[in-house]
Amino acid sequence: MTTDVINDQSEHDPHDGEHHDHKMTGMKRWLYTTNHKDIGSMYLWFSFIMFLTGGMMALVIRAELFQPGLQILEPDFFNQMTTVHGLIMVFGAIMPAFTGLANWMLPMMVGAPDMALPRLNNWSFWILPFAFAILLSSFFMESGAPNFGWTFYAPLSTTYSNGSTAFFVFAVHIMGISSIMGAINIVVTIMNMRAPGMTYMKMPLFVWTFFITAYLLIAVMPVLAGVVTMVLTDTYFGTSFFDAAGGGDPVMFQHIFWFFGHPEVYIMILPAFGIVSTTIPAFSRKPLFGYSSMVYATASIAFLSFIVWAHHMFTTGMPLFGELFFMYCTMLIAVPTGVKVFNWAATMWRGSLSFETPMLFSIAFVILFTIGGFSGLMLAMTPVDFQYHDTYFVVAHFHYVLVTGSLFSIFAGAYYWLPKWTGHMYNDTLSKWHFWCSLISVNLLFFPMHFLGLAGMPRRIPDYALQFADFNKWVSIGGFAFGISQLIFLALVIKCIRGGEKAPMKPWDGAEGLEWTVPSPAPYHTFTTPPKID
């Protein structure tokens, strides 16, 4: 791919009507900005703050579970911790981090000057802090924050709600609106703003995965909005969607919720596939193996995600046919996912590999995500799921795919593009410390959970039987170590923003893509004239 790049800073900015790249000063710059790089940075910082907030809650949970018995928490507060930890990590940490990466990188990768709808972009970011302010403010109510699990199963969130349902519902509504607007922006940008000559099958895989993810968001976030609305009216307005007394059905809640919920888990992993499909070729100095099969695999996973939802509900008393259907469909997902894992391995095969920090996180991603995938296959089998359901095995599974999967890919992406964002190389020693501390502690944290789950320890319980004590102690130690390791990353990023070795235009010799054809740090406006792509 050869490119012609013109970065004339004296051109008009096509969007905010300002001349040159004058930025407003102080808070106004950030409040009024329509610049995709500013908004991307805000998303990334916001998600990191939320990550630390949700992480603190995880540490409170792990502190309570360090020993059997009730030490520091009331069971009700423990439930609030698990609920809000889940909500914050899903909607506040992982999803905004991906949106932030999309904002920063997508326009540069497709050779566009900005996102297609910059004002909408500003709005979709700025409503997010309000959503989480509403959610977190419920902690200060007398009855406390939501305590019904992030899955808010009716009737826990309706009949037996502690009064926080309205806070929860409105927070989720705002998060949903933000996600939908962000997703619309991504699709419109990709469909309309690609540089001349960039056909769909020439787009970087990163762009493809965000394209497909955005469609998933547009399809299922409205369903989430619908189901929380039903919970709201059931709780406060006397409807009975999920209330058996009024002719409703609580199991239906689970169907509607998981119809959203399962595509949602792919919303949180498909962009991760895009990131490591960018970093692994760069540090293997080979093009991605099987590009088109990667595109089709991503699309197949997205399609299959709509017909597997009831594998979360095997124990609700489904008929045998339903159990078999959802079991086989779920297992089918292993096929396109396997294609991806093999393609990453084949990309590395006989490449001239080097192990910079983004590559380390990417390789850890491939291995540990695959472990999470395998435990997912075990859970997919209906007969064994009856044993694993609602145990720590499930907790181990989804933390392997979300922490060592999604989160590690976000770290890989952050290390890969930090020089482009800040114009400085990060401190390599610190980054290696961050990686190795995270890798060791995260496995100490989540691996023993498999054994706990297989031995029958239920999830979402503040106390446990004595025989689980040893493993839980190790898990808690791993949890605190992992939490502290993340402060290394914070220090590293701040250090990198404030200074460091000057980053060249393309710090990674194997890197491909338009983002490496602009200077580092990337100028405030890039590609005001589209590059030519052959």
Partner 1 sequence: MTNGESQNKLSKQAQTHDASVKKTVKKLMLIVFAMFGFGFAMVPLYDVFCDITGLNGKTSDVAASYTAKSIDTERTITVQFLTRTAKGIPWQFEPMVNEVKVHPGERKTVKFYAKNESVSDIVGQAVPSVSPGRAAVYFQKIECFCFNSQPLKASEDVEMGLQFYVDLDIPEDVSTITLSYTLYDITSSVDS
Instruction: Name the nearest CA neighbour of 54 among 436, 344, 410, 403.
Output: 403
b/e map 313-349, b = 16+ CB within 10 Å: bbeeebeeeebebbbebbebbeebbebbbebbeebbe
By CB under 8 A, which span of 22-30, 265-273, 317-325, 420-428 interacts with partner 1? 317-325
Q: Are 302 and 211 in contact (CB under 8 A)?
A: no
* Residue 165: closest CA among 224, 230, 221, 217: 230
280 counts as binding partner 1 under rule CB under 8 A: no
The rounded distance, in Å, linking the Cα atoms of 309 and 83 is 21
Using an 8 Å Cβ cutoff, are 468 and 448 in contact? no
Chain-centre distance of CA 9, in angstroms? Answer: 34
The per-residue b/e assignment along 35-60, b for 16 or more CB within 10 angstroms, e otherwise, is bbbbbbbbbbebbbbbbebbbebbbb
Stretch that binds partner 1, among 45-53, 146-154, 219-227, 358-366 (CB under 8 A): 219-227
Residue 255 bears catalytic tag: no
- The residue within the footprint of partner 1, chosen from 110, 135, 156, 220 (CB under 8 A), is 220
Contact letters for partner 1, residues 230-249 (x by CB under 8 A): x-------x-xx-xxxxx-x
SS (H, E, C) 7-57: CCCCCCCCCCCCCCCCCCCHHHHHHHCCCHHHHHHHHHHHHHHHHHHHHHH
Q: Is 15 noted as a catalytic residue in this protein?
A: no
Q: Catalytic pick from 36, 173, 286, 311?
A: 311
**Identity of the residue, 190 or 402, whose beta carbon is nearer to partner 1 in the bound complex:** 190
Least gap, CB of 513 to partner 1 (angstroms): 23
Is 305 a known active-site residue?
A: no
Contact 244, 171 (CB under 8 A): no
Q: Whose Cβ is closer to partner 1: residue 140's or residue 237's?
A: 237
- Residue 288: DSSP 8-state: P
Applying the rule CB under 8 A, the residues between 6 and 65 that interact with partner 1 are 12, 14-15
Query: Between residue 94 and residue 123, which ones bind partner 1 under the rule CB under 8 A?
Result: 116-117
Q: Which stretch binds partner 1 (CB under 8 A): 255-263, 358-366, 381-389, 452-460?
A: 255-263
How many whole angstroms separate alpha carbon 327 and alpha carbon 314? Answer: 9
Helix (H, G, I), strand (E, B) or coil at 112: coil
Q: Which is nearer to partner 1, 58 or 221 (CB)?
A: 221
Task: List C-alpha distances in Å: 188 to 224, 266, 283.
Answer: 22, 21, 31
Does the annotation count 150 as an active-site position?
A: yes
Q: Check binding of 188 to partner 1 (CB under 8 A).
A: yes
311 is catalytic: yes
Q: Which of 15, 36, 37, 85 is catalytic?
A: 85
* Of 15, 36, 340, 420, catalytic: 340
3-state secondary structure 211-248: HHHHHHHHHHHHHHHHHHHHHHHHHHCCCCCCCHHHCC
CA separation for the pair 375, 382 (Å, rounded): 13
- The nearest distance, CB 531 to partner 1, in angstroms, is 16
- What residues form DSSP beta bridges with 502? 424
Q: Is 218 a residue that touches partner 1 (CB under 8 A)?
A: yes
Selected catalytic residue, list 37, 286, 312, 506: 312
Q: Which is nearer to partner 1, 183 or 364 (CB)?
A: 183
Report, in Å, the least distance between residue 161 CB and partner 1. Answer: 14
- Tally of CA atoms within 13 A in the half-sphere of 2 that contains its CB: 1
- The reply to whether 459 belongs to the active site is yes
| In the complex, least distance from residue 243 CB atom to partner 1, rounded to whole angstroms | 8
Q: Is 340 marked active-site?
A: yes
Handedness of CA 4, 9, 11, 15 (dihedral sign): positive
Residue 250 preceded by cis peptide, ω within 30: no
How many angstroms separate the CA atoms of 112 and 360, rounded? 30
Q: How far is the CB of 212 from partner 1 (least distance, A)?
A: 14
- Is residue 227 within the footprint of partner 1 (CB under 8 A)? yes
**Contact pick of 149, 197, 222, 523 for partner 1 (by CB under 8 A):** 222
Q: Is 312 a catalytic residue?
A: yes
Instruction: Rule CB under 8 A: say whether 307 interacts with partner 1.
Output: no
Instruction: Select from 44-52, 205-213, 251-259, 269-277 the region that touches partner 1 (CB under 8 A).
Output: 251-259
**Segment interacting with partner 1 (CB under 8 A) among 145-153, 186-194, 198-206, 486-494:** 186-194
Asked if residue 196 binds partner 1 (CB under 8 A), the reply is no
Q: Which is nearer to partner 1, 230 or 371 (CB)?
A: 230
Instruction: Work out which of 5, 223, 377, 425 binds partner 1, going by CB under 8 A.
Output: 223
Choose, from 266, 309, 417, 464, the residue flagged as catalytic. Answer: 266
Catalytically active residues are: 85, 114, 150, 178-179, 262, 264, 266, 277, 311-312, 337, 340, 459
Site residues, partner 1 (CB under 8 A): 12, 14-15, 116-117, 180, 184, 187-188, 191-192, 218-227, 230, 238, 240-241, 243-247, 249, 251-252, 255-256, 259-260, 317-319, 322
